[in-house]
Amino acid sequence: MGGDSSSVAELLMTGVVQIVATDTALAAIKDNGSVVTWGAWNHGGDSTAVATLLAEGVAQVCGNTGAFAARKSNGSVVTWGDTFSSGISSLIAPLLAKDVVQICATSVNAFAAIKANGSVVTWGDDEVGGDSSKADGSVVTWGCDDYGADQSAVATLLSGVVQICGGEMSFAAIKADGSVVSWGDSRYGGDSSAVASLLTQGVVAIC
C-alpha cells in the first residue's frame, strides 16, 4: 500500500526533502514546510483532518505502524492515522502544544517527544512504549523487554550518555568519553561484543 501516488503526483514533482512511512502509507515533507500524504487512509495516508496544520511550518515527521506525528517549527506536534497506533494524541495535547524539540516513533504503536526542558512525553500502546510512567535512572527505558526496554545487563554502564540511537529491537548509547554501550536483541544489534575493542573511544555518532 502506498505505491500509487497518482492522486498527489503534482504535489510531489518538486521540493520534496524527506519521505517517511507507516506500514501502508507515506508522507513527504517539502521544502516549504508542508506535508503530502498518500496510501492507506486509515494508516496515515489521509491527512485531510489536519491538512491546515500540515500546510506549512513542519520541521520533522516520523511514523510507526499506522500513524504519523509531525513536529512543527513552533514546537507543537500534529498527529494523524490509526487511533490504536497513536494517531490521536488528544489526551496529552496540552503537553504537545509547544516546546517540543524532537519526536520519534517505535516500530509499532507508540511515540515519544522530547521537550525543550529535557522532559519526555509519550503516547500510544502501553505495551510498546506509550506509557513512560514506570521507570527512573540515568538512561530510562520502557515498553517491551524483548524490544530493548530491559537494559539491566548494562545498567551500570549507562551514565554520562550523550546520545541514544534505537534500532528495531535494540539500542546503542554514546557516552561522553566516546565509548558505546548497546543492549537489546543480539540479532538486531544489541550485542556489540564482537567489535567492543573498537567502541571504547572516539565514537561521535551512531545511526
Q: Per-residue pLDDT tens for 36-47?
A: 999 887 878 899
Longest CA–CA separation in the chain, Å: 53
The SS3 of residue 107 is coil
pLDDT band at 151 (very low <50, low <70, confident <90, very high): confident
More confident residue, 139 or 65: 65
pLDDT band at 77 (very low <50, low <70, confident <90, very high): very high
pLDDT of 198 over the 60 cut: yes
- If you average pLDDT over each of 69-78, 113-122, 185-194, which comes out highest? 69-78
Architecture of domain 6-133: 7 Propeller (2.130)
More confident residue, 133 or 95: 95
pLDDT for residue 132: 47
Q: Which grid coordinates are listed for 60?
A: 520533522
Q: Are 57 and 30 in contact (CB under 8 A)?
A: no
> Long-range contacts made by residues 98-104, C-beta under 8 angstroms, separation at least 24?
98/74, 99/75, 100/71, 100/75, 100/76, 101/71, 101/75, 102/60, 102/71, 103/60, 103/62, 103/69, 103/70, 103/71, 103/77, 104/62, 104/166
What's the pLDDT tens digit per position in 107-132?
Answer: 777 888 888 887 788 887 655 544 44
pLDDT band at 87 (very low <50, low <70, confident <90, very high): low
pLDDT for residue 16: 94
pLDDT band at 149 (very low <50, low <70, confident <90, very high): low
The full set of domain ranges for the chain reads 6-133, 148-207
